[in-house]
Amino acid sequence: DIQMTQSPSTLSASVGDRVTITCRASQSITRWLAWYQQKPGKAPNLLIYKASSLESGVPSRFSGSGSGTEFTLTISSLQPDDFATYYCQQYNSNPLTFGGGTKVEIK
Amino acid sequence: EVQLMQSGTEVKKPGESLKISCKGSGYSFSTYWIAWVRQMPGKGLELMGVIYPGDSDTRYTPSFQGQVTISADKSINTAYLQWSSLRASDTAIYYCARRAETYEYFVTWGQGTLVTVSS
């Protein structure tokens, strides 16, 4: 199975900050990576697919990059609505696997 | 609007059986894979398995094979997740999610079903 490791596990930031979350795969997944946002008590919401493609309706302050084994999710200017937990997911091979999550907290 | 509507909260005792549901609307239910995803309390997301409602082709993540049964009834646009004998460790929120048409990421999610197993 492909292991997905996110860092950091928790991140404290302020409104307006630029935030970067890293996701590393245990082997190459080319660009088959998605990012989700999950708020407390809610289902995950797709933000980005194919490493850098923004899902329809997602604000442009979210961006993704990377290929192979290292990927990043960047929020260019953190907004109050962005405090949540973020997960990466590889879909290069089965079983599909998720990262452990990064919680973005208010500093 | 594409929607997945899941059945409500369940409280069960160890050893009991359970079947939870996920009803799709606003799209052709038979032609998109549906996944079931587990989230244990305070933990991350785990894919349990997927089903193609059109022909009930079902694939399980190895760690969940034999522990649960995934099924679907395309005539009523509903997918199911079932246990024959619940354990306390099955306590979790269970989400259904619709896969993208071509690739294996998840575009639409149900609201989640909380299952609590306690004596």
pLDDT tens-digit series, residues B74-92: 999 999 999 999 999 999 9
Contact A74, A103 (CB under 8 A): no
| Record: contact B95-A45, CB cut-off 8 A | no
- Identify how many contiguous H helices and E strands chain A contains and give both numbers: 0, 11
Contact B109 A45 (CB under 8 A): yes
User: What are the beta bridge partners of residue A53?
Assistant: A49
Q: Which residue of A has its CA nearest to B41?
A: A41
Chain B residues with beta carbon closer than 8 angstroms to that of A40: none
Label residues A68-85 b or e (16+ Cβ within 10 Å = b). Answer: ebebbbebeebeeebbbb
Tokens of A59: 């604000």
Statement: residue B51 has pLDDT above 90: yes
pLDDT at A13: 96
Residue in chain B lying closest to A36 (CA) = B106
- The span from the CA of B26 to the CA of B43, in Å, is 31
Angle at Cα B50 formed by Cα B11 and Cα B89, nearest 5°?
A: 30
Counted across chains A and B, CB pairs separated by less than 8 A come out at: 53
Q: Are B100 and A49 within 8 A, CB to CB? A: yes
Task: Mark yes or no for CB contact A43/B112 under 8 Å.
Answer: yes
Hey, is the C-beta of B95 within 8 angstroms of any chain A C-beta? yes
- The model's pLDDT over A26-85, given as tens digits with 9 standing for 90+, comes to 999 999 999 999 999 999 999 999 999 999 999 999 999 999 999 999 999 999 999 999
Query: Are A44 and B62 within 8 A, CB to CB?
Result: no
The torsion angles phi and psi of B88, rounded to 5 degrees, stand at -55, -30
- What's the pLDDT score for residue B18? 98
Rounded percentage of chain B residues whose pLDDT exceeds 90: 99
